[in-house]
Amino acid sequence: MNWPSLLPFFLVLSPVIAAPPVPVRVAMQADATGPLIPSDFSGLSFETQLVLADAQGHHFFSPDNKRLISLFRTLGIKSLRIGGNTTDNPAIAVPRSPDLDQLFAFARAVPAKVIFTLRLRQGDPTAAATTAKYVMDRYAADMTCFAIGNEPNIYAKTYREYVASLKTYLSAITGEGVAPTATICGPSTTPSHADWARQLAGDFGGDRRLRFISQHEYPGNSGSKVTDPVGARAAMLSPAWVEEYGKIQQSFAPEAAAHGFPFRLEETNNFYNGGAKGVSDTFAATLWALDYLHWWAAHDAAGLNFHTGDYVAKADETTRCWYASFWTKPGGGYEVRPIGYALKAFEMGSMGRHLPAPTLENPGRLNLTTYGVRLDDGSLVVTLINKECGQDGRGAMVILEAGPRFGHALYVELAAPNNDIAATDGITLGGGAIAEDGWIGHWSRLERDLTTHRLQLELPAGSAAVVHLVPN
């Protein structure tokens, strides 16, 4: 046998020497305190068209849709926002009382509170007030607020024009004998018009009929323009995206807070126009969404609604939705998609107060983020996201300074097959999948070092973990 013929053997048998994981030290600010993450922080957003009955007269949002109710519960969804481009499309009907009855019975069964968008474009304030009265007379307890128009900057030429119509609607809705206790949110603009949010907070300062400032955000812009999925996946996990959130947050949130208004991303996702195939529907989107949820919670958002559906409205036309949290299965029921996994992992690490960011010693400058939350029972949960990707993506050896108060930890890892962030299927949380009727993974136990009180956890490139530190 000659050497060249042996070569394929060596190629197969010689182990690939993986680069050792890079040490990262994480110290929780265990004694600090921080803002409570609202229990309805996690939300989903759907097209108004989906509230209408389908061709067979069935409603998607219906108390009879037990599988959807179960899915909402599994993912921890407490806020249901109805809006999107189909709200304001004159070619599409406005939901009427039978549709509203089904919608609110669904929401009550979950239970989730509703943000309901009333038509503004070529709309009629009197008709909107009739809808608002119908809802408030019956379902006030299930309502968060009414939004007036979806992304009004698309059709109202100026902020002044918008705010004038908003005030006309508000007077019609909250007039005597109509729905005086109704509240609204606004301005629900596209990300490019976050200055309207700032102005609205100023204009409504003191007027508590404005429940919160609503903003839309799609940091990647149009999904239709994505030509390089590899680059787009990397961009989605890059620090540059996080900087963008910082800019948009700073452009309106301090002004909202100065006037006493909370704010919510009532419609958001990674790329608009239904997202980008090979990007929005991959595990990279899971890692992105988990980081995004925590980032906004840590930056004072009152909540976030991921836009979703099998199809959504790209302007006035329907398009496949790649950024969906779940899809309808051909034979019935629902399939949890990558962003659904992030919602579940967020639920596991967010039921408490956001602590200041853990102290990070990261000499290798890994692209890794950490978020700490204290639960009501005094235990701590840290979410770690290793956003390293590509051929040079590095794994982390996380050394978690737990302190003597904590005996051990339980953790779940969020991972894709072969740690491939391009994976669209086979994602696991704690080793198991998430189905509409529940999560089938499990928490694993992690012992601390008895002398140093440290815990050690390997976090491969392109993965995340939720670690629950359990007090002694």
# binding residues, ligand BDP (CB under 6 A): 14
Tell me the closest approach of the beta carbon of residue 197 to ligand BDP, in angstroms.
Answer: 15
Tell me the closest approach of the beta carbon of residue 222 to ligand BDP, in angstroms.
Answer: 8
Q: Which of 266, 267, 281, 401 binds ligand BDP (CB under 6 A)?
A: 267
Segment interacting with ligand BDP, rule: CB under 6 A, options 118-126, 127-135, 226-234, 311-319: 311-319
Kindly report the number of other CB atoms within 10 A of residue 451's CB atom: 6
> Do the beta carbons of residue 149 and residue 167 sit within 8 Å?
no
Nearer to ligand BDP, 151 or 281 (CB): 151
Cα 405 to Cα 408, 451, 462: the distances in Å are: 9, 13, 31
Letters for 184-213 (x = contact with ligand BDP by CB under 6 A, - = none) are ------x-----------------------
273 lines the binding site for ligand BDP (CB under 6 A): yes
Tell me the closest approach of the beta carbon of residue 55 to ligand BDP, in angstroms.
Answer: 21
Cα–Cα distance measured from residue 11 to residue 15, given in angstroms and rounded to the nearest whole number: 8
Nearer to ligand BDP, 172 or 343 (CB): 343
Segment interacting with ligand BDP, rule: CB under 6 A, options 3-11, 25-33, 268-276, 457-465: 268-276
Q: Which of 22, 256, 313, 469 binds ligand BDP (CB under 6 A)?
A: 313
289 lines the binding site for ligand BDP (CB under 6 A): no
Cα 111 to Cα 77, 404, 429, 468: the distances in Å are: 9, 39, 24, 26
Which tokens hold the place of 255?
A: 């002004």
274 lines the binding site for ligand BDP (CB under 6 A): yes
Phi, psi of 38, deg, nearest 5:
-55, 145
Nearer to ligand BDP, 199 or 215 (CB): 215
DSSP string, 129-143: HHHHHHHHHHHGGGE
150 lines the binding site for ligand BDP (CB under 6 A): yes
Nearest of 402, 415, 405, 395 to residue 467 by alpha carbon: 402
Letters for 65-84 (x = contact with ligand BDP by CB under 6 A, - = none) are -------------------x
Cα–Cα distance measured from residue 92 to residue 400, given in angstroms and rounded to the nearest whole number: 53
Residue with tokens 């108060």: 405
- Detail the DSSP E strand segments found in 143-253: 143-148, 184-189, 210-217
Q: Checking phi first, is residue 106 left (phi over 0); if not, alpha (psi -120 to 50) or beta?
A: alpha
CA angle 344, 345, 350 (to 5 degrees): 100
User: Measured at CB, which residue is nearest to ligand BDP?
Assistant: 84
106 lines the binding site for ligand BDP (CB under 6 A): no
Site for ligand BDP in 415-434 (CB under 6 A): none
Q: Give the DSSP H or E segment for 428.
A: strand 428-429
Nearer to ligand BDP, 223 or 349 (CB): 223
Letters for 33-72 (x = contact with ligand BDP by CB under 6 A, - = none) are --------------x-------------------------
Tell me the closest approach of the beta carbon of residue 319 to ligand BDP, in angstroms.
Answer: 7
Q: Give the DSSP H or E segment for 246.
A: helix 239-258
151 lines the binding site for ligand BDP (CB under 6 A): yes
- Detail the DSSP E strand segments found in 259-379: 263-268, 304-307, 311-314, 317-320, 326-328, 334-336, 352-354, 359-361, 368-375
314 lines the binding site for ligand BDP (CB under 6 A): yes
Nearer to ligand BDP, 86 or 144 (CB): 86
Tell me the closest approach of the beta carbon of residue 83 to ligand BDP, in angstroms.
Answer: 7
Q: Which residues bind ligand BDP (CB under 6 A)?
A: 47, 84-85, 150-151, 190, 267, 272-274, 307, 312-314
